[in-house]
Amino acid sequence: MRSPVIDTQSAPSVPRPARPPLRRVRGGRLLTGVARGLAEHLGIRPILVRLGFMLLATPLFEGLGMLLYVALWAVLPSEVGTKPWQDRRQWPVFALLGLGIVFLTVVTGWAGSGMLFGWLAAIVALGAGVIWHQIKPDADWLTTIVGTSGRRSAILRLGGGGALVAIGVIGILAAVVGLTRESIDNVLNSLLFTLIALGGIALVFGPLIYRMYLQLNSEREGRAREAERADIAAMVHDQVLHTLALIQRRSEDPREVARLARGQERALRNWLYKPSAQAADKFGAALEAAAAEVEDTFGITVDTVVVGDRDMDPHVSALVAAAREAMVNAAKHSGVNNISLYAEAEPDLLSVFVRDRGTGFDIDDIATDRHGVRGSILDRMHRHGGTAEVRSTVGEGTEVRLTMPVDSTENINDERNGQ
Amino acid sequence: MFRAGVRAELGDAVEVIGEAGSVAEAVATIRTALPDVVLLDVHMPDGGGRAVLEQVRATHPDIRFLALSVSDAAEDVIGLIRGGARGYVTKTIAAGELVDAIRRVAEGDAVFSPRLAGFVLDAFATKNQAPVSDPELDQLTNREREVLRLLARGYAYKEIAKELYISIKTVETHVSNVLRKLQMSNRYELSRWAVDRRIV
């Protein structure tokens, strides 16, 4: 016997939302999203992180905050997909704080050698970051360096990165050795000779390297095409050919043939047009999986239309289960072989409609001990805070309407689960 | 093979005056045969059905098109409708319904399959993503949305009219308006909405 207790027990086992990965966020950022990203990752308020950076940027910490910030900016990947916008309300405050720090540094003359090194390292990181992020804004620095991209970006990366590293290193060297007129001349001279030598080498080996690069490229494209072809061949062999063979063998059983053809059509369609989604974590995918199951079990077609989508949680699963039960009922009792399933996910409401044009029934005739409609649909929806309505007219068919209010934020959802 | 199947299914209800297997062939056939309704596939050799639409509509704006396709990719379907097709049905449609759809298109009506209604709802639901250039065109009224929802739920026009306490004529008007908005709205990348949605 099913009781509500089971559901309340299963609810707390839902995992808390995972801690967001360390990255630069795009929404609600002040400058580049480093502080906010860090705050989201650590689960603290962004303003604390920002003030922390400010404090570390004072001469007291030799300007460590700035170095840290620039380094993080250069290294962290950017968040993808969110619309970028800046939170400008806090700008004046932080601009004033920054000015204060600069003023303090200049007036007290407190900048030690550590601060100078910090600045030079920050310049290296800044320059490198500019180039890396220009090449591929959403990748982190490692994939950008290792990953292959176009010829132009390779030149940019090598040239720009090299120049910045050179400037930084020379600066640090000069600071260590001491800045005399002579040492600067020496450094500049050797730099000049290095550049001339590099130019000579490039002139000799450049065309050779370029040709190799072109060859590599065409080879890689060829391999990609080959892999794609192999993928399609494997898919056709595994699914289409097998189904066709089965259909030939069972040609005397039209119902079975139709079932096989339908299953195969669905599989191919998903493969061709759908982004891959797991039934376990998306509302739309779960509904489609349920519809496919009903199609295969009862040998009917379910016209599925899903608008919008949403992540799964226990309430959404209950809705999908109720929808599945409604489809099973329609398949079993309506006497038609086509039903419609329409689902819409709005930010605060999920609705599912299951409709058939079959025999229909009189709701009052259903005995109270029948669990199909009462237990699996009506009660289940009520337990999870939703509503269910069964509309049926004898001779015209049945429609089951399910609605489930949901919260647009994950946190509130969690609180409700914990009850 | 598929064309032969359609031809057989249509039987005597509709007069088939020509068929074609490629874009160039289709354009030439349509221009000589001058049909009332063209059944158009999304995918054709040497270009899409959209190419046929554009070429024919440039010279014969009064020929009507009904997209009949096995493709379920939203961008394909929305693309054809944006190009001027009067409706969309899938290839698994029953013969009787197809004849009915052809007749309705011939009479100037729009044919929305539940799936197309779903695509359109989805396309207009992402309304905050693009700058709205013409608010009149770039949004659906509540009534139009309701009608589309009922269409997506598998209701026939008659049933929609009953459900919303309006006349069938009004339902037809709403559906035509949706089609007009879909074809004329300046929403950026409306036909590419599905691609965008996958990134989010």
pLDDT tens per residue, range A274-306 = 655 555 678 888 888 888 888 888 888 888 888
- Indicate whether A6 pLDDT > 70: no
pTM: 0.56
**Mean pLDDT, range B109-130, rounded to an integer:** 75
Percent of chain B with pLDDT over 90: 1
> Is residue B165 classed as helix, strand or coil in its secondary structure?
coil
Nearest CA in chain A to B121: A307
Read off φ and ψ for residue A27, nearest 5 degrees: -95, 135
Tens-place pLDDT, residues B70-83: 666 777 788 788 88
C-alpha span between A29 and A36 (Å, rounded) = 6
**Mean pLDDT, range A14-25, rounded to an integer:** 66
Tens-place pLDDT, residues A168-186: 777 767 666 666 667 677 7
Q: Residue B20 burial (CB < 10 Å; 0-12/13-18/19+)?
A: middle
Percent of chain A with pLDDT over 70: 71
Among A269, A262, A290, A310, smallest CA distance to A354 is for: A290
Q: What is the pLDDT of residue A136?
A: 54
Pull the structure tokens for residue B119.
Answer: 């695509």
**Mean pLDDT, range B45-50, rounded to an integer:** 70
Contact predicate A30/A86, CB 8 Å? yes
Among B61, B144, B75, smallest CA distance to B116 is for: B75
In sequence order, what E strands does B26-157 have?
Answer: 37-40, 43-44, 47-48, 64-69, 87-90, 111-112
Best-predicted range by mean pLDDT (A69-78, A138-147, A389-398)? A389-398
What torsion do the CA atoms of A408, A414, A416, A418 make, to the nearest 10 degrees?
180
Contact predicate A76/A20, CB 8 Å? no
A342 Cβ under 8 Å from any chain B Cβ: yes
Pull the structure tokens for residue B79.
Answer: 């693309």
> Is residue A366 classed as helix, strand or coil in its secondary structure?
coil
Residues of A in contact with B118 (CB under 8 A): 305-307, 342
Kindly report which listed range (A354-368, B12-26, B125-139) carries the lowest average pLDDT score: B125-139
- Indicate whether B106 pLDDT > 50: yes
C-alpha span between B196 and A82 (Å, rounded) = 12
Classify strands A397-405 and B37-40 as parallel, antiparallel or unpaired.
Answer: unpaired
Pull the structure tokens for residue A301.
Answer: 């077609």
* CATH architecture of the domain formed by A276-405: 2-Layer Sandwich (3.30)
**Averaged pLDDT score across all residues of chain A:** 75
Nearest CA in chain B to A310: B200
Strand partners, B42: none
Q: What is the pLDDT of residue B18?
A: 77
**What letter would DSSP give residue A60?**
G
Tens-place pLDDT, residues A204-251: 888 888 888 888 888 888 888 888 887 777 777 777 887 888 888 878
Q: What is the pLDDT of residue A352?
A: 92
**Mean pLDDT, range B58-67, rounded to an integer:** 83
Q: What is the pLDDT of residue A353?
A: 92
C-alpha span between B160 and B168 (Å, rounded) = 8
What type of residue sits at position A22? L
Pick among B153, B158, B193 to test the A interface (most A CBs inside 10 A): B153
A273 Cβ under 8 Å from any chain B Cβ: yes
C-alpha span between B115 and B124 (Å, rounded) = 14
The interface predicted TM-score of the complex, written ipTM, equals 0.78
Strand partners, A349: A405
- Indicate whether A19 pLDDT > 60: yes
- Indicate whether A4 pLDDT > 60: no
Pull the structure tokens for residue A159.
Answer: 């040239």
Residues of B in contact with A342 (CB under 8 A): 114, 118, 149, 152-154
Read off φ and ψ for residue A39, nearest 5 degrees: -65, -40
CB neighbour list of residue A40: distance below 8 Å, 6 or more residues apart: A20, A25, A46
**Mean pLDDT, range A354-365, rounded to an integer:** 80
More confident residue, A45 or A371: A45
Pull the structure tokens for residue B47.
Answer: 């270009």
Where are the domain boundaries for CATH 3.30.565.10 in chain A?
276-405
C-alpha span between A142 and A161 (Å, rounded) = 14
- In chain B, count of helices (H) and strands (E)? 11, 6
Contact predicate B110/B101, CB 8 Å? no
More confident residue, A9 or A293: A293
C-alpha span between A318 and A113 (Å, rounded) = 64
- Indicate whether A112 pLDDT > 60: no
Pull the structure tokens for residue A334.
Answer: 């309506």
Q: What is the pLDDT of residue A250?
A: 79
Q: What is the pLDDT of residue A415?
A: 36
C-alpha span between A120 and A126 (Å, rounded) = 10
- Indicate whether A1 pLDDT > 50: no
- Indicate whether B21 pLDDT > 50: yes
Please, what sign has the CA dihedral across residues B77, B79, B82, B85? Answer: negative
Nearest CA in chain B to A345: B122
Q: How many CB pairs under 8 A join A and B?
A: 44
Question: How crowded is residue A328: how many other Cβ atoms within 10 Å of its Cβ?
Answer: 18
**Averaged pLDDT score across all residues of chain B:** 77
CB neighbour list of residue B168: distance below 8 Å, 6 or more residues apart: B157, B158, B161
Tens-place pLDDT, residues A56-106: 877 777 667 777 887 787 777 777 666 677 777 777 888 888 888 777 777
**Mean pLDDT, range A145-153, rounded to an integer:** 53
Strand partners, A302: A339
Tens-place pLDDT, residues B170-193: 888 888 888 888 877 655 555 455
Does the beta-carbon distance from B152 to A307 stay under 8 Å?
yes
> Is residue A78 classed as helix, strand or coil in its secondary structure?
strand
Nearest CB to A307: which of B71, B72, B121?
Answer: B121
